[in-house]
Structure 1
Amino acid sequence: MSKRAAENDDGPLKAGHRPDPMHMDMDVDTAGAGSDKEMGEFEDEFEDEFESEDEIFEAGVDGRPDAEREADMDLDTPAPAGAGGGTASGPSAFIVGRSKLEPGQTLAPDPSTYHMLHNLSTPWPCLSFDIIPDALGDNRKVYPATMYTVSGTQAEGARSHENALMVMKFAGLSRMDRGGGGDSDSDDDDDDADEDADPILESKSIPLASTTNRIRAHQTPAAGLTTGPATTLVATMTESSHVYIHDITPHLASFDTPGVIVSDKQNRPLSTIRAHKAEGYALDWSPLSPAGRLATGDNDGLIYITSRTDGGGWVTDTRPLTGHTGSVEEIQWSPSEDKVFSSASSDGTIRIWDVRSKSRKAMITMQISNADVNVMSWSRQRSNLLASGDDDGVWGVWDLRSWKPNAADKPTPVASFDYHKEQITSVEWHPTDDSIVAVAAGDNTVTLWDLAVELDDEESKDTAGVQDVPPQLLFVHYHEQAKEVHWHPQIPGTLVATGQEFSIFKTISV
C-alpha cells in the first residue's frame, strides 16, 4: 500500500495520513515562551459568511473565529521573530514548525507581516487544487482581488458519494487593515484598494464518485485547434485509479455571465482514462501542447500518456513508460520542450523522459535521495533548474545540465535545505523570479525561500544564536496540514495553500 493511501477514517492525504487536529487556543499572551516582544492578536473584523449556489463556506478576514484561529509566523532574514521567541541571538528563539509550545502557550498571526490574509473552509478538505488563469489582466496590484481555482474533495469513507470537483471564484479579497498606519509598499497603495471589502466565495460542484488525489487545469483552444475560443480543461486523478477529464469552461462562465446555467451534461467528463490499475498521485499537462497532452503516474510505477486527437477526442497510449521501482509521486513537463517530462518516485529517483523514445525507458535516471521523493517543480524562468522535496523533510535544487545518462555518482544539488523535520508535501518556483521558492511541509507550515541570499561575515554573527535557520528562509506561514501551495501567476507575490482549509495570502517579504 502506498504511503499516501494509508487507511484511516478520514481518508487518504498526501504523504500518508491526515494528522491529528492541533488544538491551539488563540490567546495573545505568549510570554510563557520567554518572549521579550508581545505579539498582537489578529482580529476577525468582518465575521463574514459566504454563501454559494452549491455550498456554504465559513471564512473571515483570517478565515476563522477567534477560538479556532491558527498561527501564521514571519521569519525575516536574518533574525526570526514571532510568538514565544527570544531575540535572534538568544537560546530561546521560537521557530514555527520546529519549536514546541508549552502548556498554556498560544500563537497568533502578526498582521503587520501580511499584505493579505484570508482562510476559508470547504465542506471537505482538499488534497489538491490548481489556479485558473483569467482575463482580468496580468501583474494585478489592485485590491480587493479576484481569482479562480479548481479543487477536488476528500470526503470520509462512508460518505465518499459526496465527493466533488469544485470550481470556485474568490472575490473581494481585501488587503490587511493596518488601522490607518499606512503601508510602506507603494505598489499596493492603489486608489482602488479597499480594506473593508467583504470577501465573496462562489462555487460550482461537479459530482465525483471518488476522492481526488491530484488535480490540474489546462487552457487550450476548443476542439484541439490552434484557433478559436479558449476552453479550460481539468484532469482529476482519483483514488479509484480512474482519471477524469472535464471541460469547466461553462462553470467558469456562469460566475460572470448572467443567465448561464450549467447542465447535467456539462458536468459529465469528456473522457475517463482507465489505463491505470492502481491509484496514483502524479499528473500534469504539458504547457507547450495546446491541444492537450497529459502524463499520469500510479502507485505501480507506471506512467501513461494521453493526447487529444484532431477530432477533439482523447486517446491513451496503452504502452506504459516503465522503470520506476516504486510509486510515481510527481510528474512535471518541461517548460521548454513539449515532449519531455520528469517524474519523481518513492524509489528515491528523478527520471527524465522523452515520449518519442521507442524504448519506453527514461533518458536519464538520478538517485537523489534515500527517501521517497514526493514532489517536484521545474523552473519556468530557467529550464535547467528543478526543485524537489522528499519524505525526510529535505528539499533541494538541481541543475539538469550536470545530469548525464548512465551516471554512476549521485548528483550534487545546487542548494539543499534540511530545515523541515517532516515530509515535504509541495514545492513551487515563483512564476517570474528564478530565486524564490515556496515549500509546504508536514510540520504545518508553508515557507518562502530566496536562494539569492548570501550573508557576509557580520550578518553571520547576528544569526549565530539561531540554530539551523538558513539565511535564505524569508517567511514561515502556519497552515494546518499543509498539502499543496501555488503562486498566483497574475497577482504578484500571492500564494494559495490547501490542507485542512484554504489559505490565500501575500506577505511583505515577497
Structure 2
Amino acid sequence: MIEPRVWQPGVDKLEEGEELQFDPTVYNSLHAFHIGWPCLSFDIVRDSMGLVRTEFPHTVYFVAGTQANQPAANSIGIFKVSNISGKRRDLVPSKPTGGDDDMDSESSDEDSEDSEDGEDGEDGESGKPVLQLHRVAHHGCVNRIRAMTQHPNICASWADSGHVQVWDFSSHLNALTESKAVIHQAPLVSFSGHKDEGYAIDWSPLVPGRLVSGDCKNYIHLWEPTSGATWNIDTIPFIGHASSVEDLQWSPTEPHAFASCSVDKTIAIWDSRVGKSPVAAFKAHDADVNVISWNRLASCMLASGSDDGTFSIHDLRLLKEGKDTVVAHFGYHKHPITSIEWSPVEPSTLAVSSADNQLTIWDLSVERDEEEEAEFKAKTKAEVNAPEGVPPQLMFVHQGQKDMKELHWHAQIPGMIVCTAADGFNILMPSNILNTLPENVA
C-alpha cells in the first residue's frame, strides 16, 4: 500500500494510474459554484445579518464582473448564496475520525453541479447552497470590482475599455431573484480620464466614498465624494511609478495615505494632501509587484505578492530609519501571485492565491516546534506526511481550482474565504483556521 502524501503543483508529477484524492475532513465547509462566464474579480458585500456569525448555515452577498468572449456579453453579477452548510470541528479531535465522514451532505465539490440560478433545491431543502442572481449589463470585461465598506450598495468597476464606473446596486441587493434576465442600468459615474485600462482601485475604509484608481499607464486618480451621489475626480493624476499601477490600498488608520504597487517592482506610499508624487518609494521585489494588502489590525504591516511567485511582509516603520522594509519573505509558490489579503480577525494571518492553482493560508506568528508537532501527530494519528522544506508558517493549502484570480476573507464570518478562478468560485472554511473572534478584536 502506497503511503498517502501531500501533492505539490509544479513539484510533483502524477504517474500513470495515480490520481489526486480530496480530503473533506480538513474543511469545516467547502462549496463550489459559478455564475456563467469566468470572473477575474469579485467582492464580498457587507450585510446587516450580524457582525460575527459562527453558526451554519451561512448566507453571503457578492458582486462580480465577468470575462466573456464578446464585449457585449459581459455583465456585473449581484448575487446571494444562502444555505451554506458545514460543520465546526475541534482543531485536535478527541478521537480519530473514520473514513466515512458525513461531509458529503454538508460541503463538497459536488455542489458545483448546482445550476447557476439555484434551480436545484430553491427552498434549501436539498442541503445544497442556493444561488440567487441579478445581472447588470456591462460593456467589456470587468478587470476589477470593489464594494464600498460603509455603503455596500455602491460599487466601483474597472473596465477593459478604460472606464472606471460607480454603480448603485441597492434595488438588486434588496430584491434578488433567480431571474436570468440581464438588466440595463446606467452607472452613477463613468470616468474616462485614464489613459489606458487598469486594475488598481480601492475605497477608503475611513472616509465614505473616497476612492483611488490606477491604470496601466502609471496614472492614479483621486475621487472625492461630494453632495449626493456624485464625485469630484481630480483630473491631474498622481505620478510616481515608471510602469503600470497594479494595485492600490488605502491606509487603515490615516485617511489621506494610500499605497500602490507596480510592474516597475516598487511600492509607493502617498499622502493625497502633499503634491502628486509619493512621499516614499522602495523596491519590493525582483519582478512585477502584482498585489498588496494593508493589514487593518496591524497598520505598520503591508503584504505584497510578485510575478515571480514570492510574497513579502513589509514593516513600514522601517522606512523612517532608511532600512529594508522586508521582515518576512516566502518563495513557496512558483508561479505569479494573483491575490493576497490579511485576515480581518487575526493580525498575523494572511491568505495568498497563485497561478500555480493553490490558495495558501499563513500564520506569521508560528515557529517550528518539533515536540508540539510530534504530540499533534500522536493525538490525530496523522497518516499523511507533509512535504520536506515547507515553512512552519504555512497552515493550509487549498487546491482544485484552475487559474485562481482573486480571494477575499469574509469580514463578518470568521474563517470563511471565497476565491474566484477560471472554473468558478469556491467558498471554503478550513478546519484549522480561527473561526471565532479573539477577545481583543471588536
**TM range, smaller chain:** 0.7 to 0.9
Please give the alpha-carbon distance, in whole angstroms, between the structure 1 residues aligned to 2:272 and 2:90.
Answer: 50
CA contact (8 A) 2:353 2:404 kept: yes
Please give the alpha-carbon distance, in whole angstroms, between the structure 2 residues aligned to 1:172 and 1:464.
Answer: 34
Find the counterpart in structure 2 of residue 284 from structure 1: 202
Alignment of 1:426-505 (within 5 A): 426-456=339-369, 466-478=387-399, 479-500=401-422, 501-505=424-428
Alignment of 1:3-402 (within 5 A): 35-37=2-4, 85=5, 94-96=7-9, 98-156=11-69, 159-175=70-86, 183-184=89-90, 195=106, 197-220=127-150, 232-255=153-176, 267-290=185-208, 292-358=209-275, 360-402=276-318
> CA, structure 1 residues 376+272, in 2 after alignment: closer, same or farther (shift >3 Å)?
same
Please give the alpha-carbon distance, in whole angstroms, between the structure 2 residues aligned to 1:145 and 1:97.
Answer: 35
Please give the alpha-carbon distance, in whole angstroms, between the structure 1 residues aligned to 2:76 and 2:136.
Answer: 5
Find the counterpart in structure 1 of residue 328 from structure 2: 415
Listed one character per residue, the Cα deviations across residues 104-144 of structure 1 (whole Å, up to 9, x for unaligned) are 32213211111101011221100000000101102211211
Find the counterpart in structure 1 of residue 431 from structure 2: 508
Shift of 1:322: 0.5
Please give the alpha-carbon distance, in whole angstroms, between the structure 1 residues aligned to 2:152 and 2:182.
Answer: 17
Find the counterpart in structure 2 of residue 18 from structure 1: none
Q: TM-score, normalised by structure 1?
A: 0.72
> CA, structure 1 residues 264+125, in 2 after alignment: closer, same or farther (shift >3 Å)?
closer
Matched AA of 2:305: G
The percentage of aligned residue pairs carrying the same residue is: 41
Find the counterpart in structure 1 of residue 99 from structure 2: none
CA contact (8 A) 2:266 2:283 kept: yes
> CA, structure 1 residues 232+104, in 2 after alignment: closer, same or farther (shift >3 Å)?
same
Listed one character per residue, the Cα deviations across residues 283-303 of structure 1 (whole Å, up to 9, x for unaligned) are 00111112x011011111110
> CA, structure 1 residues 319+455, in 2 after alignment: closer, same or farther (shift >3 Å)?
same
CA contact (8 A) 2:134 2:182 kept: no
Listed one character per residue, the Cα deviations across residues 43-83 of structure 1 (whole Å, up to 9, x for unaligned) are xxxxxxxxxxxxxxxxxxxxxxxxxxxxxxxxxxxxxxxxx
Please give the alpha-carbon distance, in whole angstroms, between the structure 2 residues aligned to 1:492 and 1:465.
Answer: 26
Please give the alpha-carbon distance, in whole angstroms, between the structure 2 residues aligned to 1:241 and 1:252.
Answer: 27
Residues matched between the structures, number = 391
Please give the alpha-carbon distance, in whole angstroms, between the structure 2 residues aligned to 1:95 and 1:122.
Answer: 29
Q: TM-score, normalised by structure 2?
A: 0.83
Matched AA of 1:485: L
Listed one character per residue, the Cα deviations across residues 312-369 of structure 1 (whole Å, up to 9, x for unaligned) are 31221011000100100000000001111000001000000011113x1000001111
Please give the alpha-carbon distance, in whole angstroms, between the structure 2 residues aligned to 1:254 and 1:322.
Answer: 42
Shift of 1:277: 1.5
Shift of 1:97: 5.3
> CA, structure 1 residues 465+276, in 2 after alignment: closer, same or farther (shift >3 Å)?
closer
> CA, structure 1 residues 404+141, in 2 after alignment: closer, same or farther (shift >3 Å)?
same
SS at 1:402's partner residue? helix
Residue segments in structure 2 that go unaligned for 5+ positions in a row: 93-104, 107-125, 378-383, 434-442
